[in-house]
Amino acid sequence: MRKAKWAAAAAGVVLLVAGCGSEGGSDKGKGSDAPASGSSASAPAAGAGTGTGSGTGSGKGGSLDAAAVKKEIDTAATAAGYTQKPGDDVPANLKSCMVSWAVDAKKAADSKKSYDDTVSALAKGGWKEGRSLDQQGSVIKTLEKSGWSVKASYHGAGPLQIVQFIGTDNGPVCAKAFQEDLAKNKQ
């Protein structure tokens, strides 16, 4: 069951990265200050980059790996008042391609402010904000840097609050790993 959940999450992230164009939503960060790696959320960008095969970031900067992305999210989120919620680990075959940082929202004094502060800190750290969706108490923002995408999600409608930051390497090696994992778990 856990593998199926991760496969679905990985597939959703891949589809969001590969399938989201600039129609609908907000396209903040697009324009002359957009990263040179072509990190708009269009389909060509999902496979763009050098694809060294190491899963260490596929953008022209390519300086990020999963550990660096996790550290940047951890630093920004904890500075904003969040505590990481223990959760399911990323499957071993996706560890170099994906980072998941779930928030223990009950421990944050003002979870929405902490979310905004985390996104702001990531932006100050070089993450370019792309597509944004804000509907009915839920906010999902895409941030891009060095061939990686972070989906920053805040769902605060009603008594249940879910806040999560999921980072994925957009390179072709990781896209293939996500597709293989999804196919394996469909069986």
The domain spans of the chain are 2-186
Question: From CA 83, how far away is CA 74, in angstroms rounded?
Answer: 9
Question: Is residue 93 scored above 60 in pLDDT?
Answer: yes
Integer angstrom CA distances of residue 26 from 14, 36, 134, 168, 185: 19, 20, 9, 21, 33
Tens digits of per-residue pLDDT, 16-73? Answer: 333 333 333 333 333 333 333 333 332 223 333 333 333 344 433 457 999 999 999 9
Tens digits of per-residue pLDDT, 102-144? Answer: 998 788 888 999 999 999 999 999 999 999 999 988 999 999 9
User: Token pair for residue 33?
Assistant: 């200050």
Question: Is residue 168 scored above 80 in pLDDT?
Answer: yes
User: Token pair for residue 56?
Assistant: 């260490």
